Amino acid sequence: MSSSITTIIWLIPAVPLAGAAVLLLIGRHGDRWGHLLGSATALASFVLGLVAFVDMLAAPTAERTVQRALYAWVPVDGLHVDLALRLDQLSVCFVLLITGVGSLIHIYSVGYMAHDRDRRRFFAYLNLFLAAMLVLVLADDFLVLYLGWEGVGLASYLLIGFWQHKPTAATAAKKAFVVNRVGDMGLLIALMILFATFGTLSYDGVFAAVPAADEGVLTAVGLALLVAACAKSAQLPLQSWLSDAMEGPTPVSALIHAATMVTAGVYLVVRAHAIFEAAPAARTAVIVVGTATLLFGAIIGCAKDDIKKALAASTMSQIGYMVLAAGLGPAGYAFAILHLLTHGFFKAGLFLGAGSVMHGMNDETDMRRYGGLRTLMPVTFITFGLGYLAIIGVPPFAGFFSKDKIIEVAFAAGGTEGVILGAAALLGAALTAFYMTRVMLMTFFGERRWNPGTDPHESPSVMTWPMIVLAVGSVASGGLLVLGGSLQTWLEPVVGTAHHDGGPPVWLVTTLALAAVACGVAVAYRQYATRPIPETAPADVSALTVAARRDLYGDTANEAVFMHPGRGMVGAAVAIERDGIDGGITLTARAVALGATLLRRLQTGFVRSYALVMFAGAAIVLAALMFVWV
């Protein structure tokens, strides 16, 4: 690649980071133009990423990886870590997704946050989010990745709790932070094991040493990395924060769900693929987590009346598909990234569409209070509808190409495992079609169930144009990325050759997938288009529906397994400190005080008392001597 790209690669994360710094330090002086600077820095980063991508296309395959060490970050004995960046075929995909979709979300936010007095600070946090995620995906070693990883956690905390005057938002931000700290500990433990085993944290050093490493050590590393991935990508059992994160402004939801935070776990698994391939037990755990989560999220999505929470459950499920594909090894890596990229378009479009609906409905999020909006919000309806067709997998929309490939690879795993994984993926496709059709019907069709005084209207052009661009991506991205195996060939130097043998014929898998989608659509249509929709959720429902409304008791399980035992441990620790450590210190102090009191009684200050004591002592000594002499 050209030397110019090598020298400016650091600017890709540095530009939005500088934007965040300026907007945070300038204070209220930047309120009038802060949103413009924030959007401009995001767009500038996207242009830099696009230039790097074009330059990479022109370079021979062997020369497409660029590494740039900025300075010695940790120059200590036994551990030398440079703050170094790596731009290769995998990282550039994420750079374009993060900056491209992120820029559209910035532009959309100009209109969405127009009346918020803290809009400048909001754009500063958006810039910080982009910068941290870019550091994460451009890192050339695990420690720099960890730096970006922590930055993403901080930015998500700030954005989810942006409206901190709302107790629910403040609580959601803390919950996201705490759950992600659990995952961060997993990544930190993995780094410790890697350094203790290999003496390095660089990708090249670690991956070169993997073939000769002990499988047990690699399994421990893989499981620790999986814990980290579960927290960031909201996979079981660390998924509970994602639904509550909807308390932040809707552009935050789009950024977290489509372009940044939840994709970090998938990136980590694919980037560390050499470790998982050498640790079959860890790779199996990845498959189990992805499969369970794609069904878990889909079931929850079927019962949510809050439009943003329904989409949040959908994200959990779709990321589960990606994790499943990543766990299937070389056959699935490219398709995990394919679905991640297509998902970035249609899920961002869906969230921005949801925000547009809320904008026109006085911030109402309950779909039972919607209905009949397609004629009053035509641009929102069409763009949201295209995203809907993409996510459920209708050809030729983007999700059809990416999700079907994952279902094919799942069946191709062979044997009983392939049947189970393929069936689960098909069931997930049917559930996706059901809950997304439900969202469409309850929002845009049927009778008007609006709250009194509501006057639905289309959003301004600064909000609709990003939605239109994302809708185009929802239509075209899948076909373009699979055309001639283009994405597979592009990623091959990083993740290896994608191949899978066996399994049902492709035409049969496609037929089954489309049949599953048709069933989901038909069931949803029968339930929500042919019957009146009550304005309040019915109470006489199945136990599964009740469970789904309560997120399949995810919070209850966490409270039972972690929170209550944790409180007990803290209570025991407090008791030990209070009654044991502090009690021992108090007892010692009291003993000293008692001794001092007794000693003080001997110090009367009267000469006669001292003389009497001396006389008594002398008498005792004489008596003792006489006893000895006798």
pLDDT tens-place string over residues 444-489: 999 999 988 888 999 999 999 999 999 999 998 887 777 767 888 8
The answer, as to whether pTM is greater than 0.85, is yes
Higher-confidence residue of 586 and 40: namely: 40
Cα–Cα distances (Å) from 244 to 121, 173, 369, 423, 506, in that order, read: 22, 8, 21, 30, 39
Grade residue 3 by pLDDT with cuts at 50, 70 and 90: low
Provide the residue type at 154 as one letter: L
220-234, 424-438, 556-570: the lowest-pLDDT one:
556-570
What would the pLDDT profile of 362-403 be if each residue is shown by its tens digit? 999 999 999 999 999 999 999 999 999 999 999 999 999 999
pLDDT tens by residue, 170-209: 999 999 999 999 999 999 999 999 999 999 999 999 999 9
Rounded Cα distance, 236 and 6, in Å: 39
Please tell me the distance from the alpha carbon of residue 422 to that of residue 297, in angstroms, as a whole number. Answer: 17
What is the pLDDT, as a whole number, of residue 630?
59
* Res. 278: pLDDT tops 80: yes
pLDDT band at 613 (very low <50, low <70, confident <90, very high): confident
Which range is most confident: 11-15, 51-55, 248-252, 562-566?
Answer: 11-15
What confidence tens digit (pLDDT) does each residue in 540-550 have? 788 888 888 88
3-state helix, strand, coil in the chain (%, to 5): 75, 5, 20
Given pLDDT bands bounded at 50, 70 and 90, which one contains residue 2?
low
Please give the torsion angle defined by the CA atoms of residues 94, 172, 126 and 128, in that order, rounded to the nearest 10 degrees: -80
Q: Is the pLDDT confidence value at 608 over 70?
A: yes
The length of the chain in residues reads 630
DSSP output for 2-53: -HHHHHHTTHHHHHHHHHHHHHHHSGGGGTTTHHHHHHHHHHHHHHHHHHHH
71-129 confidence digits (pLDDT tens): 888 888 878 888 999 999 999 999 999 999 999 999 999 999 998 999 999 999 999 99
Q: Does position 628 have pLDDT exceeding 80, yes or no?
A: no
The average pLDDT across 51-68 equals 89
